[in-house]
Amino acid sequence: MSVSIRRLTTSDPEFQAKLDRLLVFDDSTDESVERAVAEIIADVRQRGDDAVLDCTRRFDQLAAASMPALELPKAELAQAFAALDAERRQALEIAAARIRSYHEHQKADSWEYQDAEGMRLGQKVTPLDRVGLYVPGGKASYPSSVLMNAIPAKVAGVGELIMVVPTPRGEKNQLVLAAAHLAGVDRVFTIGGAQAVAALAYGTETIPQVDKIVGPGNAYVACAKRRVFGVVGIDMVAGPSEVLVIADGTTNPDWVAMDLFAQAEHDEMAQSILLCPDADFIDRVVQSINRLLPAMSRRETIAVSLSSRGALIQVADLDEACAVANRIAPEHLELSVQEARQLVEKIRHAGAIFIGPHTSESIGDYCAGPDHVLPTSRSARFSSPLGVYDFQKRSSLIEVPAAAAAKLGPVASVLARGEGLTAHARAAELRYED
């Protein structure tokens, strides 16, 4: 079994155009999905629990007498955790502790200062009251994702964390339930799809309204999240996963090949790209790919992903590799080079930077500590990994004593009158005229 993976070089005058075509990912939503989701949301807003029950019957082939019957008792989560074999339980515990410890570093505190005029200014930082966590059913249902979404919320101090997970025909993923127990999820409903998103966004008789919804889902879930944005907060809508490896040619080529596989095995749309100045090394990576692929359990998916969306790109030097990386703004960036720290300085856009040859992306995916929910599809240009900051929000604090109101009120008055807002001006003036 061999795979044909495209090879490019930056010295090709057409390189930029070829790269742009490679990176294109069309995430436009099907019109029929839009219509179906709009109808489901309207139905849930109007009929509440009954609408969610009907959808669950229809889409998940799961009939329940009432919404409360679709809530899992906490004892069932605890039981799933207790039933894990020791090795797996310990691995989950180590991962959870490391994720928690890392995210503690992200917690923001309220701050305030007094300026020269005697004003006290700052921001009060508070956790969100209630958050909804969407967990997909079926093959994309990962216990590690439960930890990576739930733990930052809990570290932020979110009051109540409500998980929804579809269980088609009643089939539950015990590992997901065990992870929910470990992460401290407060309530779990076995519902999914646009109906679960709508129920969390607007509330029903049984499901309380949340303030924000996070977590990945299929096209219906993504479309529903976009539509309820504003009523509640949402996290980024994720595209296919991507890795970009920058190698200087000193790493074991098997390691690089396996890192490209690890990304490609997610799904056929996943993207694995290598940048390297050393053509011989690229040849050796190709040999590793062809030698290692047959043993992979997901070799078909890997082969399709690598041949349709992968690339091995020869660059002039590592500086140029960094420039291309900034252009790609990858979700995951591996610096598989000797002088990795020097390259970190040159990277402006990446979801996560894996520094040095021993730092496999996969150790970061599970247990290094940083979050594995990362900006995809070039959105690292303007957004950040999921973090505690996504579950905290800020209120400005402004306290103006009488003397400062007298000194700076006239400034507000002049500017307000310049904008034709007389009541704004008068409100400032009354504070120093009286």
* 344-403 residues near a copy of itself, rule: CB under 8 A: 344, 347-356, 358-371, 374-375, 377, 379-385, 387, 389, 393-402
Residues binding a copy of itself: number (CB under 8 A): 126
Q: Establish if 208 lies at the interface with a copy of itself (CB under 8 A).
A: no
Residues in 49-78 that interact with a copy of itself by CB under 8 A: none
Q: Establish if 250 lies at the interface with a copy of itself (CB under 8 A).
A: no
Q: Establish if 42 lies at the interface with a copy of itself (CB under 8 A).
A: no
Q: Establish if 27 lies at the interface with a copy of itself (CB under 8 A).
A: yes
Q: Establish if 46 lies at the interface with a copy of itself (CB under 8 A).
A: no
372 is in an annotated binding site: no
CB 365 within 8 A of CB 144: yes
Q: Establish if 418 lies at the interface with a copy of itself (CB under 8 A).
A: yes
What span, in angstroms and rounded, lies between the C-alpha atoms of 219 and 113? Answer: 46
Shortest gap between Cβ of 166 and a copy of itself (angstroms)?
Answer: 18
Angle CA(130)–CA(97)–CA(172) in degrees, nearest 5? 60
Given the DSSP bridges, would you call strands 392-399 and 120-127 parallel, antiparallel or unpaired? antiparallel
What span, in angstroms and rounded, lies between the C-alpha atoms of 164 and 152? Answer: 17
Give residue 69's identity as a one-letter amino acid code. A
With respect to a copy of itself, which residue has the nearer C-beta, 70 or 388?
388
What span, in angstroms and rounded, lies between the C-alpha atoms of 332 and 354? Answer: 8
Q: Tell me how far CA of residue 53 lies from CA of 64, 217, 261, 265, 368, in angstroms.
A: 7, 19, 40, 35, 40
266 is in an annotated binding site: yes
Side-chain-facing half-sphere of 429: CA atoms under 13 Å: 11
Known catalytic membership, residue 181: no
Candidates 302, 316, 338, 388; binder of a copy of itself (CB under 8 A) is 302
> Taking Cα atoms as reference points, which of 143, 161, 147, 132 lies closest to residue 100?
147
Known catalytic membership, residue 320: no
What span, in angstroms and rounded, lies between the C-alpha atoms of 358 and 163? Answer: 35
CB 283 within 8 A of CB 290: no
> Rounded to 10 degrees, what is the CA torsion of 197, 201, 205, 208?
100
Shortest gap between Cβ of 101 and a copy of itself (angstroms)?
Answer: 7
With respect to a copy of itself, which residue has the nearer C-beta, 9 or 119?
119
Residues in 140-169 that interact with a copy of itself by CB under 8 A: 142-144
Q: Establish if 259 lies at the interface with a copy of itself (CB under 8 A).
A: yes
Q: Establish if 284 lies at the interface with a copy of itself (CB under 8 A).
A: no
CB 88 within 8 A of CB 81: no
149 is in an annotated binding site: no
Q: Establish if 252 lies at the interface with a copy of itself (CB under 8 A).
A: yes
User: N- to C-terminal Cα distance for the chain?
Assistant: 87
Rounded to 5 degrees, φ, ψ at 422 are -65, -40
Element (H, E) at 327: helix 318-328
Residues in Cβ contact with 309 at an 8 Å cutoff, skipping those fewer than 6 apart:
22, 240, 269, 270, 271, 272
263 is in an annotated binding site: yes
With respect to a copy of itself, which residue has the nearer C-beta, 9 or 298?
298
Q: Establish if 412 lies at the interface with a copy of itself (CB under 8 A).
A: yes
Q: Establish if 319 lies at the interface with a copy of itself (CB under 8 A).
A: no
3-state secondary structure of 163: strand
With respect to a copy of itself, which residue has the nearer C-beta, 115 or 280?
115
With respect to a copy of itself, which residue has the nearer C-beta, 66 or 395?
395
Q: Establish if 204 lies at the interface with a copy of itself (CB under 8 A).
A: no
Give residue 301's identity as a one-letter amino acid code. T
209 is in an annotated binding site: no
Residues in 73-112 that interact with a copy of itself by CB under 8 A: 87-88, 91-92, 94-95, 98, 101-102, 105-106, 111
Q: Tell me how far CA of residue 125 lies from CA of 104, 158, 201, 371, 422, in angstroms.
A: 15, 12, 23, 21, 33
Catalytic residue, from 103, 181, 332, 372: name it: 332
Shortest gap between Cβ of 191 and a copy of itself (angstroms)?
Answer: 22
With respect to a copy of itself, which residue has the nearer C-beta, 10 or 272?
272
With respect to a copy of itself, which residue has the nearer C-beta, 40 or 368?
368
Q: Establish if 124 lies at the interface with a copy of itself (CB under 8 A).
A: yes
Shortest gap between Cβ of 44 and a copy of itself (angstroms)?
Answer: 15
181 is in an annotated binding site: no
Residues in Cβ contact with 163 at an 8 Å cutoff, skipping those fewer than 6 apart:
132, 133, 134, 135, 146, 150, 180, 185, 187, 188, 189
134 is in an annotated binding site: yes
CB 405 within 8 A of CB 432: yes
With respect to a copy of itself, which residue has the nearer C-beta, 95 or 324?
95
Residue positions forming the annotated binding site for substrate: 241, 263, 266, 332, 365, 419, 424
Residue positions forming the annotated binding site for Zn(2+): 263, 266, 365, 424
Which sequence positions are flagged as catalytic?
Answer: 331-332
Residue positions forming the annotated binding site: 134, 195, 218, 241, 263, 266, 332, 365, 419, 424
